[in-house]
Structure 1
Amino acid sequence: MKPFAFISFIVLITSMIYTVYAQELKPSNLFSNHMVLQSGMEVPVWGDAKPNEKITVTFANQEKSTITDAKGKWMVKLEPLGVSKIGRSMSISGHSKITLSDILVGEVWICSGQSNMEFKVDNVPEIKSLKPIPNHIRSFEVKHTVSFEEAQDVNGHWSTSPSTSAVAFGFAFFLETLGDVPVGIINTSWGSTSIEAWMPRDMTEQLPYFKTIMSEFDSDTLTQNKIQKALDASNGWSKEEDVFLRRQPNIVYNAMMSPLAPYACKGLVWYQGERNTRYLSGMPEVTETNWFHRVAGMKEYGDILKFWVERYRTQWNNEYMHFSIVMLPGYGKGTYNSPEIDSKSPTAPSWAWMRESQLKILELPYTTVVNTIDLGDEKNIHPTDKLPIAQRLALKAAKYTLNKDVIAEGPTFKTLKKENNVMVVKFNQAKGLKTKDNKAPTGFWIADESLQWKPAIAKIQDETILLSHDKITQPKYVRYAFSGKPDVNLVNGENLPAYPFRTDSDYSTK
């Protein structure tokens, strides 16, 4: 061997040896002091170390060992754990040893979405006032970033401080109270992100429109370079770049969701959809002014959401992973092409169509939709009435994941029949049916075969509503709260609002 070649060979071998031995034992950032582990199911614990190293994890009288693979990756799975409010320690050992302290066992939920999930606790006085009270709530705040490839680890850490998200913290607070369990929240949310931003790339195989989006993204070198420049900036990216990054497809998922799997959790709360309300249907062509509109419309959103939930369950290897969707609340604006609408109209291109799409998730098992039709703001896309949302999320989780005997939803449409010129609507969950202001029910519209909608005169009779209009002698269809910002007052005995519905389509709710 020539001297130069020999020296190069020695340098290469030395570099390889250094790389192997420099890879010290390190668990994923998800495993740290103050974390909450999910009770009642297998708990994966994973990280990095040297290749072919024996790793042992000890926690709660369990000891699990494994050997790292050729890349130094390792994972063990703890057997199901019982609830524990007492902070305990976990040891992770190989050639070195790491001890993590103050670990609780309870309910772990991922909270994700766009700006209304990110909406800060300090902006909601009713939720901010709860901050000094919790004893067993922990939070993991995922840092905003993007990645062209699925990241191996997530950027964040567990804290004894409440989540910065008003909805997430409020949910944790009320769930801890209802369930009498520690609650861990992983908050991974970013304002103005579309559902496409949170999609894994392989969903292109199921969704042709997403394949089109990703093909365009891959061939757009200008966008690729702009993203890389922002990521490489030593002082962080600008506000303009921040908006640009979060409005791209897939790369938010890669950095802020993919590395969370398969952290054991009970479910995921999803408060997103505003970004996908710009069009009633279809995917618009991109122009210089609407470059960020390359997303699905409202009517397609529901089927896409179902594919998305099933794909996430595959990612977590958990077919029982619960998804709780926050319905978009009242808002007075329309679509990109028709922004100024009558927010009370049952036919305007409003958020009513997105809510109907969101309710399609109930076609899958282990899903719930939190009704917000009585909330929101006519002019503000970021309403401050987040406390009821948090309470209703907690009720859903308590009932459907902790099997608590609570009423978790308001009246839902059951049946419709015609008696002479009166439409009779029956509801589920309607015990104590009433209006919150003791006035006649509002928000109902009826139509005959012509679909010329008229505001109905509504009366409560036991657990049914009687609807009529003096100009409609042969009523056939009903719409309730099917508008951008409807005036509604119908609730059950638990003061939970009735869900929006329409009978001129195949439609159901839970």
Structure 2
Amino acid sequence: MKQTISYVILLALAFTSLGQELEVASIFTDHMVLQREKEVPVWGKSAPREKVTVSFAGQTLKTKAGKDGRWMVRLSPMKASLEGRDLVVSGRQEVVISDVLVGEVWICSGQSNMQFNANKSPEVRGLIPYAQNIRTFEVTRTVGLQEQEKVIGQWQEIHPSSAVAFSFAYFLQELAEVPVGIVLTAWGSSSIEAWMPRSMTGEVPHFKTIMEEFDADTATAKRVQEIVAKGKSRTGKEDVFLRRQPNILYNAMMHPLIPFANRGLVWCQGERNTRYLSGMPEVDEKNWFHRVCGMEEYGDVLKKWVQTYRQRWADEQMHFLVVMLPGFGKGTEAKKEIDPESPTEPSWAWMRESQSKVLELPNTSLINTIDLGEALDIHPADKLPIGQRGALLAAKRALNLKVPADGPVMQKVEQREGQLVVYFDDANRLKTTNGRKPSGFWIADESKNWVEAQAKIEGNRVVLSATEIGSPKYVRYAFAGKPKVNLVNEYGLPVYPFRTDDGEWGQ
């Protein structure tokens, strides 16, 4: 009798397995864009050991699903194409994904300034009538307590709702003259920790602490599950509760995208991690969401985050475009009201310096926004230059196009009698945007008492002096919350912020 029951159970399980319908990963839908010039993984699930064939653009690849029903093939690198073609996946059933283009695919991620709607930015909104050959997969904002296999969303023949993502796509499409596909996965007020896979606990100590606390907090896990179960009927307060948690955004909004082929990722995030200069504070019920790294630690965490994503995508060439935090006139929790032009206040200047650490890695770029932003508005509308500058950097660094993309970067500083001379890279025809003398420079001697400098342009250099300082030694440029800056190169690209002193961090 027991043997008969066992046989019936095994037979039922076998039929259940064979009944698994052929599926393609959820990122593959009609109207999608595939990445050109790279191998393109196509993957999914089927019945165990099922033979699967994938056909697209003259390529036909065959594979066999594993015991768990998972299968994958890799299309060979393809040229860009505006022709909408069918991607056909066949086994016991057939799945046809129609109107598939080949071009440039970029992921755009981050928090509220990436989510910021294109219609709220007049300059970006003005591009809408002229946009062409841009498609978007907008990831539905949700969370998962474990890494998810399926992402919620679909490809559409429209521009991204995000002002930054749309302006980036618009100018990249113009520069590359190929279709552009944007995968938009962003959620306001999310920290970098929200987009970190659990595996990073092994190399980021503060994240290990956060996740240990999260795991021990069964009440939070239960509440997360209850809110997710409500779907679109969740309240605004519940929405905030979800998006300010660690790790669980990654699980649902980023992990299911891997290993979808792309050229790179545009990262517009950091505001959430600016509340403290350094360290992870003790928090209470009112400010629980501040349990994140501070500005000093952010740069090293960002580097590890980039490296982790590249490992997960198995793509060391994946380019990361980091959006520098723009001008903003507020400080930290310890000192909220600051002088927005002072080079010594606890301002976003320190986060910008931390963000610049990403440039220590290959295939990275930092989009300079030091001339943008609003002193009292953390969500400024001037998003078009961000996308435009990002597109230029992507075209030059990732696509190897010959375009002017780099703003001047400090190369060295020489001491003269009573003066400092600053030399720059990419500084042909230095000029100011308002015809006045360069602003935003501060100098100091050994005492580290900073004084606003008198600056003048000499060719591709800037000469600095101040009557109060006889022997200047150090310089800080645009190193403030909301500095007044006007120095650009011949292409109108602003000079990157910098400081030459090696004093204690945050002072």
Aligned-partner Cα distance in 2 for 1:64–1:7: 41
Shift, 1:29, TM fit: 1.3
1:292 aligns with 2:297: no
Aligned residue for 1:362? Answer: 359
Q: How many residue pairs align between the two structures?
A: 504
AA matched with 1:204: T
Runs of 5+ in structure 1 lacking a partner? none
Shift, 1:469, TM fit: 0.4
Matches within 5 A, 1:95-494: 95-233=92-230, 236-494=233-491
AA matched with 2:320: F
Aligned-partner Cα distance in 1 for 2:205–2:12: 45
Aligned-partner Cα distance in 1 for 2:245–2:442: 39
Q: Deviations for 1:480-502, whole angstroms, at most 9, x for unmatched residues? A: 00000000000000001100000
Shift, 1:15, TM fit: 4.3
The alignment partner of 1:132 has SS state of: helix
Aligned-partner Cα distance in 2 for 1:215–1:476: 46
The alignment partner of 2:185 has SS state of: strand
Aligned-partner Cα distance in 2 for 1:337–1:8: 67
Aligned residue for 2:497? Answer: 500
Shift, 1:7, TM fit: 5.7
Q: Deviations for 1:447-492, whole angstroms, at most 9, x for unmatched residues? A: 0001000000000000000000001001000000000000000000
| Cα pair distance change 1:474/1:235, threshold 3 Å | closer
Aligned-partner Cα distance in 2 for 1:74–1:505: 53
Aligned-partner Cα distance in 2 for 1:431–1:51: 62
Runs of 5+ in structure 2 lacking a partner? none
Q: TM-score w.r.t. structure 1 length?
A: 0.97
Shift, 1:325, TM fit: 0.3
Q: Deviations for 1:150-179, whole angstroms, at most 9, x for unmatched residues? A: 101111111101111111011001000011
AA matched with 2:44: G
Query: 497-506 or 30-39: which moved more?
Result: 497-506
AA matched with 2:25: S
Aligned-partner Cα distance in 2 for 1:8–1:64: 39
1:65 to 35, 56, 62: 62
Aligned-partner Cα distance in 1 for 2:277–2:423: 30
Aligned residue for 2:83? Answer: 86
Shift, 1:421, TM fit: 0.4
Q: Deviations for 1:114-146, whole angstroms, at most 9, x for unmatched residues? A: 000000111112212222323311100000111
Query: Identical aligned pairs, as a percentage?
Result: 56
Aligned-partner Cα distance in 2 for 1:175–1:281: 36
Shift, 1:407, TM fit: 1.1
Q: Deviations for 1:25-73, whole angstroms, at most 9, x for unmatched residues? A: 1101111111111111110000111111011000111111111111211
AA matched with 2:303: K
**What is the RMSD computed on CA atoms of the aligned residues?**
1.4
Aligned residue for 1:25? Answer: 22
AA matched with 2:228: L
